[in-house]
Amino acid sequence: MIRTIAWREWRALFLSPLAFVILGVTQIILARLFLGHVNLFLMLEARLTTLPNAPGLTTLVATPLLGNTGVLLLLITPLATMRLIAEERHNRTLTLLYSSPASLTEIVLGKYFGILGFYAVIILMSLAMPLSLLIGGGLDWGALACGLLGLVLFASSLAAIGLFMSTLTRHPAVAAMGTFGAVFFLWIVDYAGHGRGAGGAIVGYLSIVNHYEPFLRGLFDTSNVAYYLVLTVTFLVFSVRRLETDRLGTR
């Protein structure tokens, strides 16, 4: 049932113009940023050849582009996830899901993997740009894989947050605003903790971006992986509980 719901969600997303608008705008922005990173590398190339252990294409082009992709995912998550549950409730089709053989966990995971499939398309399209550099140069595969892993974990947690926000309302626009508020808070919370000692460090730990940046530097830390896994699982559990409360209220 999870696969069926995920496929239905992914297909429904691509049957609407929203998905193509998001993909088109995202790729235009990333392509412009990619060309900017490449131009910067070409400007610095002659100087870099004289430096020991100079940064290469991966450090100056590929991983910055993955960072740019993460920022864009922060911005498009409210639009991509707002209709997951809210539209079902608005169209009065959520009760059909409740009466189906699928459990609430299967419904949530199906919706979740459906939106992850959409994010996978965005990530693969953005990854094609740095891979094109192989025509004239080389890449640090370890650093690139680490950055890609961080981006996947980052996107997974964003999808879980957006899904939960969509369970709280029947209006997709309200879900979008709630998701934007949540991810924006997790984005800027690090600034609130700067220069405030141990309390500031605890607040900074909540920052969703702070745990992504080490991956972009090629640093694999299990604590950062655990942060994203806990964040993702927490919001998925919240989503299941919210639907359970809603189903009990409709009886």
Q: Report the alpha-carbon distance of residue 9 to residue 97 in Å, rounded.
A: 13
- Provide the 10 A C-beta neighbour count for residue 223: 9
Q: How far is CA 171 from CA 84, 88, 159, in A?
A: 11, 10, 18
pTM: 0.89
Q: Report the alpha-carbon distance of residue 242 to residue 222 in Å, rounded.
A: 30
- Tens-place pLDDT, residues 205-222: 788 888 898 999 888 889
Asked whether residue 250 carries a pLDDT value surpassing 60, the answer given is no
DSSP string covering 149-184: HHHHHHHHHHHHHHHHHHHT-S-HHHHHHHHHHHHH
One-letter identity of residue 19: A
pLDDT at 66: 92
Report residue 84: phi and psi, to 5°.
-55, -55
119 CA to centre of own chain: 7
- Tens-place pLDDT, residues 61-96: 889 999 999 999 999 999 999 888 888 888 888 777
- Tens-place pLDDT, residues 229-244: 999 999 999 999 998 8
Helix (H) or strand (E) holding 213: helix 213-216
Q: Quote the percentage of the chain above a pLDDT of 90.
A: 42
Per-chain mean pLDDT for the chain: 86
**Spatial contact of 112 and 162, defined as CB atoms under 8 Å apart:** no
Among candidate residues 167, 185, 165, the one with its CA nearest the CA of residue 176: 165
Asked whether residue 195 carries a pLDDT value surpassing 60, the answer given is no
pLDDT at 192: 59
Q: Report the alpha-carbon distance of residue 38 to residue 44 in Å, rounded.
A: 10
- Tens-place pLDDT, residues 96-108: 777 778 788 899 9
The confidence band for 201, taking pLDDT boundaries of 50, 70 and 90, is: low
B/e letters for 161-200, b = 16+ CB within 10 Å, e = fewer, are bbbbbbbbbbbbeebbebbbebbeebbebbeebeeeeeee
